[in-house]
């Protein structure tokens, strides 16, 4: 089923840049979590989830024409079971998407719209973010033993929920499912690693099929070390330590080279930081740039151009490295997002060609997908208004 374009381009009131809203419906739309790319069909189309006709389903939008295609038509599970596409991912080698329907792992082949059930997770375990290995052979995700049953789904309660779960030290597993080329499971689920700690955010390297990162979840200023790297071929694990002991870093993501990660961080005071690090054990350390602004989630392809979604001032910031020096942030556009629930987090993601940023905002009352052009040189960057 296809739908006509909902695209609308307007001039951002702060920067003067053209911003395009790709969706427009009286129901929330959002893209995948910012560590999972949503481009498909040769990067000409983009995946998103939308609440339409009182159901949550998977859609795709043609970035040129704006035409929208629906891929799933799924009955929601009974309340309070969870069903959304925040934790979904696309196979890195083919146009197939994996998502959770309560405790059932499902896949949908975009060309045929065929949906499969791949496995069921035991009721006593909570599944988390999915991530495809770069060769498309494995689907990784986390499993957390359910020891805290309170509902912490909205953003204001989220930090309280994470702290309670962190203190409980649940059994947590990193697991992977072998995938067949026809869209099914090629074998049984494998446990890669298990420990009594709150684990989350399993992310796969975009170039190295054996490398993943994961994090020790919990209050950033109290966890032992948030960012960890694992060689799944050997089981060897190592830490990505903060660049300075005053920083507590997280919201990690892979650079396009698959050998570096980016992050942002906080201190106990007003200072924040953006930065990146090699995942190669023993390699030279971090680059980092202390900030005097809330950064929010940040994203970059290579550490030379960084975007950030700061929530307190409603603007999308952009940083550029010029002559080897990371410049102070400029304002790309206003997002004015509420961040009320996970689906309404901005979660900026830079396009593979580095020319635009795509993000979610409910600036008009409902969550929608937006895209804005990124500066391609120092002159374009310096022409943007400075953040103050």
pLDDT at 162: 86
Cα(133)–Cα(298) distance, integer angstroms: 22
202: exposed, middle or buried (Cβ count in 10 Å: 0-12, 13-18, 19+):
buried
Rounded Cα–Cα distance for residues 78 and 117 (Å): 17
- What pLDDT does residue 388 have? 84
Averages of pLDDT over each 10 residues, the chain, 388 residues = 96 98 97 97 97 96 98 90 92 97 96 96 94 98 88 50 90 97 91 97 98 96 94 97 89 97 89 94 85 90 95 92 96 92 93 98 96 98 95
Q: Are 150 and 129 within 8 A, CB to CB?
A: no
Q: What is the pTM of this model?
A: 0.94
Angle CA(110)–CA(174)–CA(48) in degrees, nearest 5? 30
- Report how far residue 334's alpha carbon sits from residue 354's, in angstroms, rounded to the nearest whole number: 19
Strands 272-278 and 287-291: antiparallel
Tokens of 157: 């309660």
pLDDT of residue 154: 47
Radius of gyration of the chain (CA): 20
User: First-to-last CA distance in the chain?
Assistant: 46
Helical segments of the chain, H only: 155-168, 378-382
Q: Which CATH topology does 78-239 take?
A: Methylamine Dehydrogenase; Chain H (2.130.10)
The per-residue pLDDT for 159 is 55
Task: Say how far apart CA 318 and CA 183 lie, in whole Å.
Answer: 38
* pLDDT at residue number 155: 43
ω into 80 cis (within 30 of 0): yes
The answer to whether 110 and 150 have CB atoms below 8 angstroms apart is no
Give me the residue spans of the domains in the chain.
78-239
d(CA 207, CA 213): 13
Residue 251 tokens read as 């919201």
**Which pLDDT score, from 0 to 100, does residue 108 have?**
97
Q: What b/e sequence results for 98-114 when a residue is b if at least 16 CB atoms lie within 10 Å of its CB, and e otherwise?
A: bbbbebbbbbbbbeeee
Please state, in angstroms and as integers, the Cα–Cα distance from residue 268 to each residue in 34, 126, 212, 245, 265, following that order. 26, 31, 29, 11, 10
Q: Largest alpha-carbon pair distance within the chain?
A: 56
Contact 134, 91 (CB under 8 A): no
């Amino acid at each position: 089923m296809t739908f006509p374009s909902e695209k609308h381009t307007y001039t951002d009131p702060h920067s003067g840049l053209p911003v395009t809203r790709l969706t427009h419906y009286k129901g929330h739309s959002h893209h995948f979590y910012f560590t999972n790319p949503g481009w498909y069909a040769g990067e000409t189309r983009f995946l998103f989830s939308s609440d339409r006709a009182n159901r949550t389903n998977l859609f795709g939008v043609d970035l040129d024409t704006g035409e929208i295609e629906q891929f799933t038509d799924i009955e929601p599970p009974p309340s309070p079971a969870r069903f959304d596409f925040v934790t979904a991912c696309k196979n890195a080698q083919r146009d197939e998407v994996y998502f959770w329907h309560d405790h059932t792992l499902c896949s949908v082949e975009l060309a045929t719209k065929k949906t499969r059930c791949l496995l069921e997770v035991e009721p006593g375990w909570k599944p988390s973010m999915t991530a495809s290995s770069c060769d498309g052979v494995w689907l990784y995700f986390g499993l957390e033993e359910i020891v805290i049953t309170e509902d912490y789904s909205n953003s204001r309660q989220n930090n309280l929920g994470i702290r309670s779960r962190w203190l409980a030290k649940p059994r947590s597993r990193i697991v992977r499912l072998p995938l067949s080329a026809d869209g099914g499971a090629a074998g049984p689920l494998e446990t890669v690693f298990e420990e009594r700690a709150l684990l989350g955010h399993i992310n796969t390297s975009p170039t190295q099929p054996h490398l993943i990162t994961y994090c020790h979840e919990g209050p950033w200023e109290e966890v032992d070390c948030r960012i960890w790297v694992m060689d799944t071929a050997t089981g060897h694990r190592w830490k990505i330590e903060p660049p300075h002991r005053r920083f507590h870093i997280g919201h990690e993501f892979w650079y396009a080279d698959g050998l570096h990660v980016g992050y942002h961080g906080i201190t106990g005071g007003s200072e924040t930081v953006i930065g990146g690090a090699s995942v190669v054990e023993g390699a030279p350390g971090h680059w980092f740039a202390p900030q005097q602004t809330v950064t929010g989630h940040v994203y970059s392809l290579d550490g030379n151009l960084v975007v950030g979604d700061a929530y307190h001032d409603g603007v999308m910031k952009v940083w550029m490295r010029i002559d080897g020096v990371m410049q102070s942030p400029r304002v790309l556009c206003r997002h004015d997002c509420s961040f009320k629930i996970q689906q309404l987090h901005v979660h900026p993601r830079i396009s593979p060609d580095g020319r635009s940023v795509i993000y979610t905002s409910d600036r008009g009352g409902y969550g929608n997908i937006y895209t804005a052009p990124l500066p391609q040189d120092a002159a374009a960057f310096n022409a943007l208004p400075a953040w103050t």
